Structure 1
Amino acid sequence: MDIDLTAARVVLLGRPGCHLCDLARDVVQQVVAETGDSFAEAVVDEDPVLLERYAEQIPVTFVDGRQHDYWRVDPVRLRRALAR
């Protein structure tokens, strides 16, 4: 695995041109701006292992290195996860 899913408190795994990824990014950016948590993005196509595992689920969000959500990001759930 080449992508570090612990590079930030919240990591968004997606791909360019993905409209759901754009929507998820907006939600994540809004929530981390409120909470002050770190946020990073990674492109699923850059890691063959992650591509095979998550290609059908993107965008995928990770909190503290663990999968949190996929397809859509619920801001309430994300805030709750970051409060732990």
Structure 2
Amino acid sequence: MDSTDTTPAARPAPLLELVTKDGCHLCEDAVGIVSDVARELGLSWHEIRIDGEAELTARYGEEVPVVLVDGVQRDFWQIDPVRLRGILARAIGKA
């Protein structure tokens, strides 16, 4: 009897973060996009606000909103839901 398990190992959920700041209309749009795509794929996400954070403002201030997946910048300014969905689907093994 063969006891080899050929079931693919479960992948940990990717860390999905959205970098935003106050008064940013693109950030408001991005929150809706990230929320919708994450919900669709059963993922959680969190928002990182750069307001009052000198280091984060220096890094992301001119690019917000910024999407990070597992700490890697994957998109910025106008977040593309199709691109984000594909990135996340590959990360969780659904693509």
Give the TM bin, normalised by the shorter chain: 0.7 to 0.9
* Pair member with larger Rg: 2
Matched residue, 1:75: 81
Matched residue, 1:3: none
Distance 2:54 2:89 in 1: 32
- Aligned CA-pair RMSD: 1.3
2:55 is aligned with 1:63: no
Structure 1's consecutive aligned runs of 4 or more residues displaced over 3 angstroms after TM superposition are: none
Instruction: Choose between structure 1 and 2: higher helix proportion.
Output: 1
Q: 2:60 aligns with which of 44, 47, 54?
A: 54
TM-score, length basis structure 2: 0.75
Matched residue, 2:20: 14
Q: Which has the higher contact order (CA 8 A, sep 6+)?
A: 1
Cα drift, residue 46 of structure 1: 3.9
TM-score, length basis structure 1: 0.84
2:54 is aligned with 1:36: no
SS at match of 1:68: strand
Task: Report how many residues are paired.
Answer: 77
Structure 1 unpaired stretches of 5+: 1-7
